[in-house]
Amino acid sequence: MTSFRTAQGGRIDRARTLRFTFDGQSYTGHPGDTLASALIANGVHLMGRSFKYHRPRGPIAAGAEEPNALVGVGRGGRYTPNLRATQVELYDGLVAESQNRWPSLAMDVGEVNDLVPAGVFASGFYYKTFMNPPSAWKDLYEPIIRRAAGLGKAPEQPDPDHYSHRYAFCDVLVVGAGAAGLSAALAAGRAGARVILADEQPDLGGSLLSDASATIDGLPAAEWAAKAAAELAGLANVTVLTRTQCFGAYAQNFFGLAQRLTDHMPVPDPKAARERLWKVRTREVVLATGAIERPLVFPENDRPGVMLASAARTYLNRFGAKPGARAVIFTACDSGYGAAVDLARGGVEIAAIVDMRSEANGPGIDAARAANLPVRTGAVVTGVKGRLRATGVEVGTIASNGLVNPAGQLSCDLVLMAGGWTPSVHLYSQMRGKVRFDAERQIYVPGDRASNEHSVGACGGSFGLADALAQGVAAGTAAAKACGKGATETAVPGVAGEILPRGGYQGAVPHHRDVRKVKAFVDFQNDVTAKDIKLAVREGFRSIEHVKRYTTTGMATDQGKTSNMNGLAIAAETMGKAIPEVGLTTFRPPYTPVTFGTFAGHSRGDLFDPIRRTPSHAWAQARGAAFEDVGMWKRAWYFPKPGETMHAAVERECKAVRASVGLFDASTLGKIEVVGPDAAEFMNRLYTNPWTKLEPGRCRYGLMLNEAGFVMDDGVIGRLAPDRFHVTTTTGGAPRVLAHMEDYLQTEFPELKVWLTSTTEQWAVIAVQGPKAREVIAPLVEGIDLSPAAMPHMSVRLGTICGVPTRLFRVSFTGELGFEINVPAEHGPAVWEAVWKAGEAHGMVPYGTETMHVLRAEKGYIIVGQETDGTVTPNDLGLDWAIGKAKPDFVGKRSLARPDMAKPDRKQLVGLMTSDAGVVLEEGAQITAEAAPVQGRPALGHVTSAYASPTLGRSIAMALVSGGRARIGETLYVPMPSGAIAVTVTEPIFFDKAGSRLDV
């Protein structure tokens, strides 16, 4: 294999050799190489296949804007797809593979797509080609499209790395460390401002690292950059972040930065984070993000070996990799000449410089002529020969009437494109700056300053090196001054030997060939050609945002960095409008793709979401309990004995509670302490029930509505003293209820003297439920008379249990005699254990949430959020008894008097009995009047709860049914895929209707 490595020069460490593989083939490179530069040094340009047509592709760029050379890198869980080979730093042992090809990159079956008749893959082909029959979409078309047109594949193993997040604050954030960014950081840093300088490359310098001709302050450009970097490293007030992409600008000078920490290492330290997300808030920001060279849109401009002139310069000057042996430079801008001169000096034969402009003059042209390089003006490249690599070009001349005449062929293996420069205004635009169209140069540049923003150098539309340095110094000084820092002034460095990149072109290059048969690419990544955009306009798309989506130009991982302006120019020309009249698509973050790991940070695995565990958690775990997630809580679901099914365990637990006694952890209930002289009045206003006359020591079932009159929460509330209530809420509702209470207390009733405190985590709640509950706890309790007369149902007493202070509630959510022992949470496990030991003699069983649900349903007790959905009133639930009708006002009261709230056809809570006692309905199932529901007629309601009831020995269900209470005794239907299930409407209470079991 011929080596394309130069004999000397470049920023690579030639003393060390790195081995790597690409598609299984072994190659070598040097430290300092990227994957792309190392492959090019090995003569390899074919690095990918295109998205739609599977055309062979090589890199056209040398940096972040690369649309073609997307590769998968790494092994196992570290495999990362869709990386730009132009940004992947080489390390020893790197394993990379190409994407979107089968069976191999050189022989890809998908390439037949390139031969299908014109039009099949034209704009909107997804919508046109895969139309009928509709049923084929899911099973046939979509899988085929996904396989054929995918980008990389996802890694198949869990990511072994970890990622970190960091907040940072600074006076001046400088984005980009090219000439402008370095001089800005130096000026601001020397002035004493806190500076963060971020650049996506491993070394500071930006385009200076690829510049072989200019000098700054008498030093070669790259040496000046190294000197500047060394000075910045020595400033304590400056933080330099390399390998760090500032990917987005957000409100109020907030920026997202993604830092790659270990991807360039062969064996990363397992303790080190792979990437770090920086969330930076800055006072002033200097944007020095540079510009991206535009490709020229001519037929077959996508062949491997065709690349941007600036990229060729970078490969040669920075990496010592010759991108070819014989080059044709196609240019509309003076920067093409600079590239030609550099390449010639580096040993690449220059076949021709083909300049679209009829007249060319200036220092660049003079330098090319001085080097005896052949220049053709008023000429265009009209086609590229070769398939896996360019072998030559067709050239044409532009006549005075604008038509193109063929003018022969040139052999070459490298074709450079110099279409001028597009400022990277992404961050400026994301800061809500309004770009301005520079009609003379036909480019968008930043307009008025966005908040505290300074766009300097090429991203501000100033492409010259001297301008970039001067603007950087000025912006860095001004930004520091705005932060009150201005100790040291910085002089503007002097520049010699630069060639200003005058000129440029956008849109389709004219040619003489049959437009129906050639493909001139605008968007390389999405395979969008000039004629696709013209077709979209002809089909009626006028908004550039619509043209973008219909043609897919500017989408996917490169977000149109190289294609947007050419696409816009072609659309504008087809519409007969000027470019600014057509508008510009939005510059969305991220600038380059950011991994999910970076955004997730430490929020994965156990840290994905906080986990709340109850005091009995370890005890339940030791007994093999199954757990369920309830909000963030882990709750014991059921306690299976060895080999026992869930159904059997729940049946056993239910029967034990009804026959003897069960133990249940109710600590997850929300708890709020409502205290103050006006506590009772506050409760009167926030709950439907009357509270004034509730005696201390007694409890009441409280119902909370929102202002619209719908049930929001419920719970048992104990009055401990005239000015103190112990409020319980649903497990999931606690934060919502407290916020609702605070809202009314602070904003509507600020005159009430009340204090609210969340005590959910302070109390462990041990529920002992069943006929033998009193016998179990009696030996443990001190200072409380537990007798039925002294402590009736719905009462609360203060005393001690196992020597620990307790708020002992006599309440029941099972319909049995029951106590809920509240003890300080730290004593929860010990008291739980003591109660368990005391209960064993009575045959006590632990039970979980499933049994709790079944027992409460047998009694017709609702669960807010299961029987309610935000549209249910107290009357709908048959809870009118819980409303204090004599109260002048409470939250929701006025709404209950609205006419809609009294309609007879409202959905009301009822019970359902299936005709087949063994059939348990599905929760959420719809209920109809007919076994075969009529299409277009709404359902009568739905099943809210359904269980097999061990107590009744049959299935039971609760449901919300339109006019339900008037339908008791009727037969309705629950249509299911296997046929309708007949049900009888009943009262929503199935066991101990009189409540006699509570009163013992």
Partner 1 sequence: MLLIRCPYCEMDRPELEFRYGGEAHVARPVNPMAESDESWAEFLYMRTNPKGLHAERWRHTSGCGRFFNAIRHTVTDRFVVTYKAGEPRPEVKP
The helix/strand/coil state of 210 is helix
Cβ-in-10-Å burial (0-12, 13-18, 19+) of 929 comes to middle
CB-based contacts of 560, cutoff 8 Å, min separation 6:
523, 548, 553, 554, 567, 585
Residue 885 CB, shortest distance to partner 1, in Å, is 12
Provide the token pair at 909. Answer: 């809570």
Stretch that binds partner 1, among 93-101, 223-231, 300-308, 892-900 (CB under 8 A): 892-900
Q: In this chain, which stretch among 34-42, 101-109, 149-157, 244-252 interacts with partner 1, using CB under 8 A?
A: 244-252
Nearer to partner 1, 746 or 787 (CB): 746
By CB under 8 A, tell whether 895 contacts partner 1: yes
What is the secondary structure of 63-99 as a DSSP string?
STT--S-EEEESSGGG-EEEEETTTPBP-TTEEEEE-
Closest distance of CB 861 from partner 1, Å: 30
Closest to partner 1 by CB, 741 vs 831, is: 741
Q: Does 485 bind partner 1 (CB under 8 A)?
A: no
CB 742, min distance to partner 1, A: 7
Please, are residues 216 and 206 in contact by the beta-carbon 8 Å criterion?
no
Report the nearest approach of partner 1 to the CB of residue 431 (Å).
Answer: 12
By CB under 8 A, which span of 290-298, 546-554, 741-749, 964-972 interacts with partner 1? 741-749
Q: Find the part of the chain contacting partner 1 (CB under 8 A) among 250-258, 333-341, 387-395, 461-469.
A: 250-258
Strand partners, 786: none
Residue 251 binds to partner 1 (criterion: CB under 8 A): yes
897 counts as binding partner 1 under rule CB under 8 A: yes
Q: Which is nearer to partner 1, 3 or 746 (CB)?
A: 746
Interaction residues for partner 1, span 299-358 (CB under 8 A):
none
Count CB-CB contacts under 10 A for residue 748: 12
Q: How far is the CB of 199 from partner 1 (least distance, A)?
A: 24
Which of 198, 240, 255, 205 shows the shortest CA–CA distance to 450?
Answer: 255
- Beta carbon of residue 238, minimum distance to partner 1 (angstroms, whole number): 24
User: Minimum distance from CB of 893 to partner 1 (Å)?
Assistant: 7
Counting contacts by CB under 8 A, is residue 739 touching partner 1?
yes
- For residue 687 the two structure tokens come to 């709950």
Count the residues of the shown chain that bind partner 1, applying the rule CB under 8 A.
Answer: 24
Q: Least distance to partner 1 from the beta carbon of 276, Å?
A: 18
Determine the 3-state secondary structure of 928 from DSSP: strand
Q: How far is the CB of 609 from partner 1 (least distance, A)?
A: 16
Q: Which is nearer to partner 1, 706 or 984 (CB)?
A: 706
Min CB(568)–partner 1 separation in Å: 25
- In angstroms, the CA 722 to CA 719 distance is 7
Compute φ and ψ for 116, nearest 5 degrees.
-65, 155
Cβ contact 445:425 at 8 Å: yes
Distance CA 696, CA 689 (A): 16
Q: Does 894 bind partner 1 (CB under 8 A)?
A: yes
Q: Considering only residues 609, 743, 782, 999, which one is a binding residue for partner 1 as defined by CB under 8 A?
A: 743
Q: Does 889 bind partner 1 (CB under 8 A)?
A: yes
What are the helix and strand counts (H, E) for the chain?
24, 52
| Contact region with partner 1 (CB under 8 A), list: 39-47, 317-325, 695-703, 888-896 | 888-896
Instruction: Please state, in angstroms and rounded to a whole number, the distance separating the CA atoms of residues 803 and 184.
Output: 70
Question: By C-beta, is 89 or 707 nearer to partner 1?
Answer: 707
Closest CB to partner 1 among residues 114, 707? 707
Of residues 588 and 898, the one with the C-beta less far from partner 1: 898
Scan residues 425-484 and list those touching partner 1 (CB under 8 A).
432
Residue appearing with tokens 């009294």:
902
The answer to whether 681 touches 752, Cβ cutoff 8 Å, is yes
Tell me the window of 169-177, 554-562, 657-665, 742-750 that interacts with partner 1 (CB under 8 A).
742-750
One-letter-per-residue 3-state SS of 572-638: HHHHCCCHHHHCCCCCCCCCCCCCHHHHHCCCCHHHCCCCEECCCHHHHHHCCCEEEEECCEEEEEE
Figure out which of the listed residues 742, 833, 880, 916 binds partner 1, where binding follows CB under 8 A: 742
Least separation in angstroms between residue 354's CB and partner 1 is 48
Is 746 a binding residue for partner 1 by CB under 8 A? The answer is yes
Q: How many CB atoms lie within 10 A of CB 350?
A: 23
DSSP string, 657-691: HHHS-EEEE-TTSEEEEEESTTHHHHHHHHBSS--
Q: Which of 254, 608, 755, 881 binds partner 1 (CB under 8 A)?
A: 254
Q: Please answer whether residues 745 and 752 qualify as being in contact, where contact means their C-beta atoms are separated by less than 8 angstroms.
A: yes
26 or 747, CB closer to partner 1? 747
CB nearer to partner 1: pick between 572 and 704: 704
Backbone angles phi, psi at 789, to 5 degrees: -75, -40
- Check residue 47 and report its DSSP letter: -
Q: Which of residues 739 and 778 has its CB atom nearest to partner 1 in the complex?
A: 739
Which residue lies nearer to partner 1 by CB, 742 or 840? 742
Name which of 279 and 441 has its Cβ closer to partner 1: 279
Amino acid (one-letter) located at 4: F
Under rule CB under 8 A, residue 748 binds partner 1: yes
User: What letters, b where the CB count within 10 A reaches 16 and e where it falls short, cover 179-199?
Assistant: bbbbbbbbbbbbbbbbbbbbb
250 is a site residue for partner 1 (CB under 8 A): yes
Least distance between partner 1 and beta carbon 261 (Å): 24
Residues 966, 910 contacting (CB under 8 angstroms): no
> Which among 376, 419, 418, 380 has a CA at the least distance from the CA of 398?
380
- Residue 742 or 905 having the CB closest to partner 1: 742
DSSP bridge pairs for 663: 768, 846
Minimum CB separation from partner 1 for residue 432, in Å? 7
Residue 888 in contact with partner 1, rule: CB under 8 A: yes
**Minimum CB distance to partner 1, residue 712 (Å):** 14
Backbone angles phi, psi at 674, to 5 degrees: -110, 115
Instruction: Measure the CA–CA gap between 225 and 222, rounded to whole angstroms.
Output: 5
Q: Which of 132, 135, 252, 996 binds partner 1 (CB under 8 A)?
A: 252
Under rule CB under 8 A, residue 279 binds partner 1: yes
When asked if residue 899 is in the footprint of partner 1 (CB under 8 A), the reply is yes
- Binds partner 1 by CB under 8 A, chosen from 502, 519, 893, 907: 893
Q: How many CB atoms lie within 10 A of CB 741?
A: 22
Compare residues 139 and 900 and give the one whose CB is closer to partner 1: 900
Of residues 648-707, those binding partner 1 (CB under 8 A): 707
Indicate whether 708 belongs to the interface with partner 1 (CB under 8 A). yes
Q: How many residues does the chain have?
A: 1000
**Least gap, CB of 191 to partner 1 (angstroms):** 25
- Nearer to partner 1 among residue 302 and residue 453 (C-beta): 453
User: Which residues ranging from 958 to 977 are in contact with partner 1 (CB under 8 A)?
Assistant: none
Q: Give me 773's structure tokens.
A: 């509950």
Distance CA 103, CA 754 (A): 74
Binding site for partner 1 (CB under 8 A): 250-252, 254, 279, 281, 432, 707-708, 739, 742-743, 746-748, 750, 888-889, 893-895, 897-899
